[in-house]
Amino acid sequence: MKRERKKKNAAGVNQKRHIKNNTEKFSGKTKILFTLLIAFITFISFFPTFDNEITTWDDEFYINTNPYLKDLSFENVKTLFDTGTYYMGNYHPLAMISLSVDYAIGGEDAEGNVNPFMFHFTNFILYLLTVTAVLYFIYILFKDFKLAAAAALLFAVHTLHVESVAWISERKDVLYAFFFVLSLIAYVKYTDNGKIKFYVLSLLLFVLSLFSKGQAVSLAVTLVLIDYFRGRKLIDKKLILEKIPFFILALVFGLIAVGA
């Protein structure tokens, strides 16, 4: 028994040393440089989208014929947040409002056509922020900056994400992903130090993600996976209670999405 305990303790010490070594390989300046390099590669990969026009697919309905786009009034905002208001088969008030803000900034050209640049630029900025958030999330989860940088770079240049950035109608995708990853970061912070402010922040960011796109409901299950990975007891009163608000929100927004 004593030998087994010693082996377990030794394994724990070695694991801690491994984590410590991973975190100490890179200085603060090196981490910043790698982060900037990934941001630059992301920019090089997607800056051609800035010249994209409005497509003849869903963009026509989200931009040219969108009754909410040009009128960001209180009444319209209230209508968008009404759970009975669906647009293009989706309940995504925050995404709709962000498009209206882009129109308010970018306006129209001399011929009265909606200027698409601001929409594409915002999509890119949201994606770039999400890439940075992914890097930080992987870093605080695994305590391995090399792994985090590699994962963020792969995420940044993966072809599956081209549509989300290049297509204006996919604003809902980049917006929900941004808040989704931020919510995960706040939750990991909460599991690290137990400070309730990070738990509340994670919950609020989850709500923003849900208001951006219905697929955000998957975050509730993702939190359970994080608990499992971090060695937290899944059958624990505290853990069950802290997940209830997330699963209730996921259920409510899931039903709203099904109603669309």
Of the chain, the percentage scoring pLDDT greater than 70 comes to 90
Average the pLDDT over 240-255 and give the result. Answer: 96
Q: Is residue 15 part of a domain?
A: yes
Q: Please give the pLDDT value at position 110.
A: 73
**Which tens digit of pLDDT belongs to each residue from 97-129?**
999 999 999 988 777 788 999 999 999 999 999
| For range 161-171, the mean pLDDT | 94
Tokens of 178: 């941004």
Average confidence (pLDDT) over 71-84: 91
Q: What is the pLDDT of residues 185-237, one digit of tens each?
A: 999 999 999 999 999 999 999 999 999 999 999 999 999 999 999 988 888 88
Average pLDDT of the chain is 89
The answer to whether residue 218 is domain-embedded is yes
* Domain of 189, in residue numbers: 2-55+124-259
CA atoms within 13 A on the CB side of 87: 28
Query: Residue 134 falls within a domain, yes or no?
Result: yes
**Comparing C-alpha atoms, which of 149, 192, 182, 169 is closest to residue 69?**
169
Q: Of 128 and 89, which is predicted with more confidence?
A: 128
64 lies in a domain?
Answer: no
Q: Has residue 85 been placed in a domain?
A: no
90: β partners: 87
Q: Is residue 60 part of a domain?
A: no
More confident residue, 26 or 115: 115
Q: Is residue 108 part of a domain?
A: no
The residues, any chain, with a CB within 8 Å of residue 185's CB and separated by 6 or more, are 133, 136, 137, 140
Does 95 fall in a domain?
A: no
Q: Would you state the pLDDT for residue 22?
A: 52
Domain count, the chain: 1
CA-to-CA distance for 172 and 170, rounded, in angstroms?
A: 5
Is residue 8 over pLDDT 60? no
Quote the pTM value. Answer: 0.88
- Reported as half-sphere exposure (CB side, CA atoms, 13 A), residue 125 has a value of 8
